[in-house]
Amino acid sequence: MKAVVYTKEGKKKDEIVLNPAIYAARVNVRLLQEVRNAYAANLRRGTADTKTRKEVRGGGKKPWKQKGTGRARAGSIRSPIWRGGGTVFGPHPRDYTVHLPSSMRRQAIISALSLRAGQKNLVLLESANMDAPKTKEWTQLIRALPIKEKRALCIVREISQNLKRASRNALNWVDVKSAKDLNAYQILQREKLIIEEDALPILEEKLLSYKKSRLPHAEVTEEKAEKVEKVEKVQKKEKGKKKS
């Protein structure tokens, strides 16, 4: 899959081939739904609270005697069926955190990147470095890119102080994230995706390096398996000698 690299002035500089394992992979729609719901749940503070009948002030005295008044029996003016009473089954502070496996989060990023690339909503930028912390220069740079004034996410190698200060007044339009801190929820929240050219190897290392890291562990498990086989053989020989 090929993509055009644009300069800060919006001119086409070069055309590079993107890694198909990241930008042309199968889009797992169900996984993206689960990850989006999980990240949205993790953003919830869970501080909503209501008072039950025991927490509402007052209601310690029985309103009237149990019998002889002709009225319904009542033990407290803070009963949930009374005006000003407690709330039944109302919300209370709780933790909405959803823990996702690292492999699931990683695959979700690949699916999200492939989705945006398949929709032709991915733009490559030569460099996002700013000479001065000026929002005007940053907005001029973004308007020069073919994103058609759509809300976008800009992925950079590293967020410098100039870029951070220049972009913070336009985060509702273009949000800026570093490649090492990227997640699928951030990609799905924006229609357009801008990736700095220097951030591409960081994304590849983040999303594909786990396969290489498994090799040493596999060698260790093979060594352990050989040791276990040797021990089992010795045990079988000892059992045979005892029987004889």
Query: In this structure, what CATH number is given to the domain that contains residue 184?
Result: 3.40.1370.10
Instruction: Give yes or no: residues 75 and 13 share one domain.
Output: no
Instruction: Give yes or no: residues 57 and 141 share one domain.
Output: no
CA distance 199 to 65: 76
Instruction: Give yes or no: residues 6 and 87 share one domain.
Output: no
Intra-chain end-to-end CA distance of the chain, in Å: 70
Nearest Cα to Cα of residue 108 among 36, 57, 192: 36
Q: Which residue positions in the chain have pLDDT lower than 50?
A: 213-220
Instruction: Give yes or no: residues 156 and 70 share one domain.
Output: no
User: Does residue 33 lie within any of the structural domains?
Assistant: yes
For residue 243, the model assigns a pLDDT of 60
User: Does residue 157 lie within any of the structural domains?
Assistant: yes
For residue 209, the model assigns a pLDDT of 80
For residue 87, the model assigns a pLDDT of 96
For residue 213, the model assigns a pLDDT of 47
- The whole-angstrom distance between residue 62's C-alpha and the CA centroid of its chain comes to 53
For residue 227, the model assigns a pLDDT of 63
For residue 244, the model assigns a pLDDT of 58
Instruction: Give yes or no: residues 191 and 89 share one domain.
Output: no
3-class secondary-structure state, position 68:
coil
Instruction: Give yes or no: residues 91 and 193 share one domain.
Output: no
For residue 226, the model assigns a pLDDT of 66
**How many independent structural domains does the chain possess?**
2
Domain that holds residue 132: 2-44+103-202
CA distance 207 to 21: 9
Instruction: Give yes or no: residues 7 and 35 share one domain.
Output: yes
Instruction: Give yes or no: residues 195 and 111 share one domain.
Output: yes
Instruction: Give yes or no: residues 36 and 53 share one domain.
Output: no
For residue 218, the model assigns a pLDDT of 41
CA distance 68 to 86: 27
For residue 242, the model assigns a pLDDT of 62
For residue 238, the model assigns a pLDDT of 72
Instruction: Give yes or no: residues 62 and 166 share one domain.
Output: no
For residue 216, the model assigns a pLDDT of 44
- The whole-angstrom distance between residue 209's C-alpha and the CA centroid of its chain comes to 19
